[in-house]
Amino acid sequence: MKRKKFIAWALTTVCTALMLAGCSASESQNQTADKSADASSDHPVITMNAPYRNMSTFVDKVKEKYPEINLEIIPYNGQNTSTYMLDMRKCGEMPDIYFITYYTPGRFDDEADFLDLSSYDFTGEYVQSRLREVTLNSGIYMLPMGYNALGITYNKTLLDENGWELPDSFKELEELAPKVEEAGYTLCLDQLQYPGFGFQFLCNIADTGFLSTIDGQKWQEAFLKGEVNVSDTPDIVENIKLLDKWRDLGMLNGNGTPDNDTDTKAEMIKGNTLFLIGNSNDLSSESGAEDEFRLMPYLSEDGDQNVFVLNVSRYVGLNKKLGEEGNEQKLEDALHVMEVLSTVDGMESLEPSQVNSRLLPLKDAKVGEDSYYADVLDELNSGHTASFIYTGWENAIVPIGETMLDYIKGNAEVEDVIKAFDDNQHLITEDTMDTCTTVTEMLDMDTCAKLVGICFAKAVNADAALISTNPWRYDKDAYEMNREGVSGALFPMGVSDQEIVSIIPTGWTNNIQTVTLTGKRIKELIESGYERSDNSVSFPYVLVSKEGMEFEDDTVYTIVICGASDEVKEEGNIQDTGVLGLDAAKAYLSQFKTLSPKDIVWE
């Protein structure tokens, strides 16, 4: 069954206290810190979605300059940020200050959705080259945040110690590869955790040839309209066949940990590998990193079309409703927030751990000598770049990316990759996605946690489930919020794989895990919540079980768990069930033609 593609979103809420039967947490957990919105304030609440690891430092900076501002953070730390943020807009559920991961001016009705920011003083703080990229009919409706250049990470220490020269072309890379292997080192590791990475690696390599040329860009536009395909375009076929040279050389391989990019990076840090291909590959601030790592471009055959791929991390705009009569104070406060955001300190506070691995679009921004980009800044400024390919391709990225990951691992051929483009072109031109059910009434975060608990527990025959959630928590010293729990909600719309992954903690590739705990211990965890490592605050659990089930203190139960501390993992002897979370959710949801909160019952 196919329906119009939408991705679910709802504003997340704190857990309600339904002891043991549904969602439960102690009183202290339900009280967010004093940095959150204050309903008793004279200033109206301003909502701001937060597709960042931790917004606490930014909130401090806003409060420091404008203590009267009443800012409510709506967190999202789930597994499908890009489509989740985009479809918040499609569903008409945008907050006052709205972030999104990808933006093409004019693709949607920007003038109807956002205020024009071109006349405000804070917009003047941005460099003109970045503003030109977001200008539409002389208006500016979204501003860019930090951006990075995607390329190939290399171990400079390893390169220098062995007296090797950094290759400037694919030919030189072919000459270097046997020297690396003869010295006993691994040539390259690839980060393969997400299907989107496979799609991007393909595009990045193709950008060293036809794809990034003027004719290649025209071909992309024609493909998205359904006017051409891959197999009937010799130039793009030959371009994609470049992949074989990269795989044969060993630059594309499954030598890392395919379902865990963190493990792959950890292997790279050991210092026995020269190159790393990935979308989040700056290792300069990683724990345990002793070697020096730098960035090089994707290499063309003769080096005359080497490219870095520029990727803006987030864009931000103001909901046009702020300009409506009666919202004057909200607009004034929102503009003050944008003022703080449009400073170096404000922008860096969004991702403090990535200060040296991001470039800022601000006039006052500086690039330090220890920056990840210090050695390649001249190349970036001279235009040796290609644009990150995403907008317009959303519906086809996963199936093409999955085929590409199979190709990288040696389980498919380049002809299969070409076929994947043509076979999935209709997903773009028809703007459709396969759906397993249709939500008819919004399922909020806690209801989604209950849904996840039911389908996971049933899939592995567990007695119950403990599913953590991700309400806003002020925790300035934490690296990130709760990525192991449910973060988000489902809106009334068709539910495809994209919607499912946006709420399930296991994402695209991870399996369901279980622990064995006594009833007494389960009750204690309901009270304490998920005490995430390095976080000073805890996150509420939703306990999901059959209707009417009671937990005896001394009885041992097998429990599905999403969000477990090291202590709980050890005492509960955590087990990987081998059951993919996505498969379990799809199988369960496919039983329902339609789905509403009243259907979320374990009988």
Phi/psi of residue 387, nearest 5 degrees:
-80, 145
Give the pLDDT mean for 124-136: 90
State the Cα–Cα distance between residues 292 and 294, nearest whole angstrom: 7
Contacts 24+ apart (CB under 8 A), 106-113: 106/136, 106/137, 107/391, 107/392, 110/136, 110/139, 110/141, 110/142, 111/136, 111/137, 111/139, 111/141, 112/320, 113/89, 113/141, 113/317, 113/319, 113/320
3-state SS class at 41: coil
pLDDT score, position 82: 85
Alpha-carbon 377 to chain mean position: 26
Which residue in 151, 150, 149, 154 sits closest to 187, CA to CA? 154
Question: Can you tell me the distance from the alpha carbon of 208 to that of 216, in angstroms, rounded to the nearest whole number?
Answer: 11
Tokens of 502: 């946006």
Over residues 430-465, the pLDDT tens digits come to 877 889 999 999 899 999 999 999 999 999 999 999
**Residue 40 banded pLDDT, cuts 50, 70, 90:** low
pLDDT band at 170 (very low <50, low <70, confident <90, very high): very high
C-alpha triplet 176, 178, 180: angle, nearest 5° = 70
Cα–Cα distance measured from residue 277 to residue 402, given in angstroms and rounded to the nearest whole number? 17
| Contact of 464 with 42, CB cutoff 8 Å | no
Question: Per-residue pLDDT for 587 more than 50?
Answer: yes
* CA distance to 162, 343, 416, 424, 480, per residue, from 340 (Å): 47, 6, 49, 43, 21
**Above 70 in pLDDT, residue 33?**
no
- The residue with greater pLDDT, 35 or 82, is 82
Note the pLDDT tens digit of each residue in 486-517. 998 888 888 999 999 999 999 999 999 999 99
276 — pLDDT class (breaks 50, 70, 90) = very high
Q: How far does Cα 577 stand from its chain's mean position?
A: 25
Q: Compute the distance between CA of residue 173 and CA of residue 170 in angstroms, rounded to an integer.
A: 5
pTM above 0.85, yes or no: no
Largest CA distance in the chain: 72
Average pLDDT for the chain:
89
Phi, psi for residue 140 in degrees, rounded to 5: -125, 115
Joined tokens for residue 552: 């005896």
Strands 70-75 and 45-50: parallel
Q: Judging by beta carbons within 10 Å of its beta carbon (0-12, 13-18, 19+), is residue 568 exposed, middle or buried?
A: buried
pLDDT at 35 over 80: no
How many CA atoms does the CB half-sphere of 43 hold within 13 Å? 19
Q: What pLDDT is attached to residue 183? A: 97
Q: Which residue has the tokens 């947490």?
A: 25
Tell me the CA distances in angstroms from 195 to 103, 191, 289, 394, 533, one per residue in order. Answer: 20, 10, 27, 12, 28
* Residue 356 in this model has a pLDDT that exceeds 80: no
Q: What angle do CA 300, 302, 308 make, to 5 degrees?
A: 30
Q: What are phi and psi of 304, to 5 degrees?
A: -90, -5
Any idea what the Cα angle at residue 306 is, between residues 300 and 311, rounded to 5°? Answer: 125
Amino acid 23: pLDDT:
37
CA contacts within 13 A on the Cβ side of 322? 26
Coil, strand, or helix at residue 558?
strand
DSSP 8-state code for residue 518: E
pLDDT in tens, 44-78: 999 999 888 899 999 999 999 999 999 999 989 99
Residue 262 and residue 350 in contact, taking contact as beta carbons nearer than 8 Å = no
Selected residue with higher pLDDT from 481 and 91 = 481
* Euclidean distance between CA atoms 84 and 133, whole angstroms: 23
Residues 6+ apart with CB under 8 A from 433: 2, 3, 5, 395, 427, 494, 496, 497, 498
Measured CA to CA, the distance from residue 125 to residue 128 in angstroms comes to 9
> What tokens does 392 get?
């317009």
Compute the half-sphere exposure of residue 184: CA atoms within 13 Å on the CB side of its CA: 1
Domains of the chain listed by start with CATH number:
32-147+312-365 (3.40.190.10), 149-310 (3.40.190.10), 434-599 (3.90.780.10)
- pLDDT tens readout for residues 329-350: 999 999 999 999 999 999 999 9
Nearest CA to 210 out of 225, 220, 195 is that of 220
Task: Kindly report the backbone phi and psi dihedral angles of residue 114, in degrees, each rounded to the nearest multiple of 5, phi listed first.
Answer: -130, 155
Residues 404, 206: Cα–Cα separation, whole Å: 13
At 209 the three-state DSSP class reads coil
Which one has a higher pLDDT value, 300 or 93? Answer: 300
Check if the beta carbon of residue 359 is closer than 8 Å to that of residue 129.
no
Q: Which residue did the predictor score with more confidence, 393 or 24?
A: 393
Per the CB < 8 A criterion, the answer to whether 259 and 510 are in contact is yes
Q: Please say if the pLDDT value at position 286 is more than 80.
A: no
Tokens of 445: 């975060």
How many CA within 13 A on the CB side of residue 34? 3
The tens digit of pLDDT for each residue in 523-571 reads: 999 999 999 987 889 999 999 999 889 999 999 999 999 999 999 999 9
Mean pLDDT computed over 226-242: 96
Confidence of residue 27 (pLDDT cuts 50, 70, 90): very low
Q: What are phi and psi of 311, to 5 degrees?
A: -135, 110
Q: How large is the average pLDDT for residues 112-121? A: 97
**Of 596, 574, 437, 459, residue with least CA distance to 516:** 574
